[in-house]
Structure 1
Amino acid sequence: MRVSPWIVLVYVICTVQGITHLRGSHGYFESPNFPEPYHNDITEEWSIEVRKGYKIKFKFTAFDLEDSYDERPCVYDYLLITEGGEELERFCGNPSLHHYSSTPRINRWYYSQNNSITVRFVTDYSNEDITPTGFSSHYVETDIDECAILDHKKRTIIEDWDELLTCNHFCVNIPGSYYCDCRAGFELAPNNHTCVAKFCENQHLTDLEGEIKSPDYPLPYGKLSNCQWDINVPKGFSISVTFFEPFDIEEHVDEGCVYDTLNIQYKDSSETYCGSIPPHVNRTWDLNTRDVTVRFQSDLSVEATGFRFHYNTSRIRCLKQLRAPINGTITSTNEKSYYEFEDAVTFACDLGFDMVGHHRTVCNNDGVWTHDEPRCQIISCGSPDHLTAVEYSHIVHFAEKEFTYLEEVTVRCNQWYKQTRGYATWKCEHTKKWIPHGVSTGGSDIPECRPMCGVKGAEDNSLFKPQISGGTLSKLHEWPWSVFLNFGSTRNLAAQVGLCSGTLISPNYVLTAAHCALDTVGHVRQVNHIHVWLGVPNRTVDESQVKYVQVEKSLIHGSYDTKSGSKWDYDIALFKLSETIIMSDAIRPVCIPTTGDQFSMLVPTRRGEVAAWGLFNAGIQASNFLLHAEFPIIATETCMSSYRKRYEDAGRKLPANLVVTDNMFCAGYEEGNSGTCQGDSGAAFVMEDNATSLYYEMGLVSFGLNECGSTTTYTSFTKLNEVVVRWILQNTDDLK
């Protein structure tokens, strides 16, 4: 860049909002009332600016300000000089009386770094006993020696040195600016600082031999070089190169060739070099091609020695030695030990293998075979994606499988899941398809894994001790399908009111009583006010030790109606969970009866079990521990008779809608034993199938006339009969 030195200099003074702006090549500023004493409590400010490319020098012809009288410099009256927001100087005192570093020297020049400074004069309130006269100063613009500054930075800067722009050939200082110039053969880059070699760009070489080297080799190569040599020799010739030392191209100590690079492109190869060791040192490098592109690029930082190499040519051959593929054969009519232009080779694969590639290849005039050798690959059926997609399963030793001809894979359900249909074993056949083998469990060929239901846990929990009379403390994970429900705007595992129980019947559904899905005024609860807890043996544990799930949808049986018929008929509801539950030691579903033998288990005198958190509490608090008790099934007539007696003893008549229907049954004790309580509603009544040892939910707690802690009559349960089970299966996609 160039600036003309013939400019008329104008001295300008203007004052804007209490700041005096001084513009021009020279000027002066002085304290108010100078040379008379200045006043107390004043602040004056001068903004001084000269032309860009210049800096400011100023000196004092007089200076007399109140001294600080202590170790703190200039805290009473002072003159502050700042540049770019940074403090340049802070002056006070009288140079004829003191020689502090904070006291300026008369007629000594002080310099800014750039073309603008701010001067602020501040006085306090305490000059009654002294009469300092203030100061007078003159300033003049002076040229900045940019070349000297750049040279100093180049020699001294440590941090970000590689981002510093300097004139790498010649720097010429002119008034107010500077410019860079280059040696012959170089041109100035767009950054106006770096000299770039242009004589090596876009060079085309067609001679059968020649030499290529970096700019100024063996002197340091130029910055921002972008050299390119395209070597093109006639067909039928092959290029070979030989590098010479010294070889030195800037290299990153950890990341390699990321600064300056020598790139050689030939055929389908592109190789990049840097460092101090030349490619293929001390030997000729046969590139086996007639076309080579050489690129040399450098950045703005280090300039090293560079490179030099010689190239020549020879008649082309197909140097790549062809071999028979594994599990295959090779045939050639050529008896020579090497191949030249137009020589041909054919390949074949053994039985049971497919050829990947071409069966014939020919040596071209560029020294490259028309095709690479083929591979003889054993027939593959590919990854059995239709089997890996089976939920809750894995393929045995999957990582070791190659999925090739005659190989078998076995689908195995994860722990706590079982195969309910399809084939577990599949074989890769010659058709490249997976074919089922072995015995099917029924249904479609594709296997299906579903949770194992009704498997009761048996791990003792020695940390828990019974604290509540009546009932028995459950073992850890003994009833893995038991679900604790609390209602309201806040989830609360330790809640004592607004509670129910439920049962996990599938990975996505919880079964409970219909009245649990209603609030206290009979409205359907909002799903965000229903909180589901699974795997809860103890409600005092930290929430992170159990599983909390939100509800996506609530579904009450369509025949449940507290206003007509039996108040408790079809007292059953489903909660669809917001996420699919993964089965574990602590969480598993109960079985749902579907066969006549299973439905027939529900007969009087047989016994079932109920596990919940509201059971058997003689006080007003729900149990913190999952408790369970055995309940005998009672005939409906016996149960209704007990209900009528309970009301008659109380001097009341049994309500007409208090009826045990065919969709209900009674169980428990009339007095003196375990009963149900608030918080037990929705809990499962389970029975063990003696043939399979699996537990089935035959009903769920609906209502009782007992007071918590005392048993005076039986508990009524919603019955899972054929009608109710059909409703459950229809609304849970068959418990999926």
Structure 2
Amino acid sequence: MDHRVWPLLSLLVAVCSGNPILFGEITSPKYPQGYPNDAYQSWNISVPKGFGIKLYFLHLDIEPSQDCEYDFVQVLIKDEVKGKFCGRRIDGSSPTSPLYEQYYPTNNLRLEFTSDFSNEERYTGFSLYYIAEDLDECEESSETYCSHFCNNHIGGYFCSCPPGYFLQADNHTCGVNCSGNLYTDLRGQIHSPGFPSFYPENSLCDYKVRLIPGYQVVITFQAKDYDIETGRDGKCTYDILTIQAGEHTHGPFCGRSPPARIETGSNQVDILFQTDSGGENKGWLINYSEDAIPCDHRIFERSQLSPAKDKYVFKDTITVTCIEGYEFVIRKRNVPSIQSYCRGDGTWSVTEPKCQLVDCGAPSEISNGRPTFSKTTFRSTATYSCVSEYYQIVLPASGDGTFRCSSKGLWVDKNGNQELPKCTPVCGTFNSAASSGGRIFGGKRATLGKLPWLIAFVSPNRGAGALISERWVMTAAHVVQESDQPEMFGGLINLPTRTDANLLKAKKVIIHPKWVIEPLDKRVNFDNDIALIQLCSKVQLGPNISPVCLSSGTSPGFDDSGYIAGWGRTEKRHVSGHLMFTAIPLQKMEKCQEIVTEKKYTFSSNMLCAGDGAGNDSCEGDSGGPLTFLDHNNNEKMYVAGIVSWGVECGKYGVYTKVENYLDWIKETIDKVESEEGEGTGSDCR
């Protein structure tokens, strides 16, 4: 049978059998008439994937030319010319010519016909059939890739693998089944597929090692058991071994020099081995073993661990204590220690908080004083000083005045005590200008600040008193026996104007318990004529107001000169509006007894006699004021020895309450009151 008939019969059989084979006929313009000049026409031929296209030329009559330059029909695949035809080959001529039929291994092509502007003869063009013909994808010239076996079928192909291999997800590559291996023994060996023979290509192996918590996987290699293909640049670009331990990756590894011992730090390890399509290497063998996962104790900075060990492993429990000067702070509370245990993954159950430097905070304030410091942390120092020269620092018995921030967060002195110094008033500050002669009864005017302890009593009785501390005034009992709220002023010299005066408010008036209260005009017994007044608030000491000392440790001698001052009556029989002062000697009691003609007045050992008998004396309105002496043994301080009490004639001698006899009562009274209510620094009177 003529070969030109057989394709047509094949097409008919395919169509009749219902197979989806495409075919068709294409002819040149006006065929079988002569084709026109300057003609162009194209046809797109498409068949299903897995098929190629075969062309059968039944008629070919196109103007011949060198390389088909004038008129031609050509085949293009992706705009690339794959065949170009011209010349005269009509039915029955050259039946074996290779141009008579042509096969193209593609399912898409384009056919184009082109003629120029003239033809010397009449040419009828071409006539052809095309048909879809099965494509053999497994031919060596095919672009199809199968790593092992290629199997062709009508309309397509498939890859297959030899025994022991499986087709991977790309449906082209064969690999060995080397994943899913699980190792749970504490020790063992793992090797690449086929070891020590060549390992297979195109494989991805995953070996899983899973040990019980608390152990890490340790991997070791030997050089004789290690051979993995390396890229030409020496990098692991072809076959790769990696070890995945938790979030940490070791590798990639390749070549002939194995890695050093690997402590993975995890009880769960994946050994991954990936190969490409080439190479002949024997692979690897590893030994794995267990080791207790250590917990890094170095993370506990500035601390001590108990019990102390070089290495802590799973389930070890420790007590963490900060070193001296450091502490834990949890929710603003100081915590001496924390506990933590080593977990199976090599981490500690508790790592926070961290030890931080102890902070003692600002040193405590003291009344009339202040601390000086630059830092408040461990071993910082602070020193105390008073706010002015009118106060003096008094240190605790064992202290040196310097406090240090201790490891316990407390400010302590050199002996570890917390007792703070105190700023106590400087008493008896004496200005030598006050020693000038003169008389109260016709005496000399005092200037402001010369006698800063003098307190003026305005009502209910005119009188005076002495400031003996920041919050206590001493006076005569008969001055305050009629009122528990006497009107008092301190730090002044001019009583009518009261310029720059401090109004002092009494909280409590305490009269000596043995003082007998009776009207002054009928009084003949002034024994125990002494009283104390607690002020509502502490007096801020300064140049115009400060206390007098209570005692000197010695008693004044007869003929020793003391000083009296006040706003009482002068020799001109009027009350002075300005503070007056004078010096008078201490006398024996007989001097005062001589001028008392009436024997009804009482004299006792609680009294002193003073005056010069020549006009220097206290008088009415000076009651309660202090009789002061210089303490030559105590830095020239002034101390009070007597309180103006009574007399029968101004200008001669006066009787004073002997303060020395009441020192114990004064101290006990003040201590009792202040211990009962606390030592307040501010006003507590309504």
What TM bracket, shorter-length normalisation? 0.3 to 0.5
Which TM-score applies when normalising by structure 2? 0.44
Which TM-score applies when normalising by structure 1? 0.42
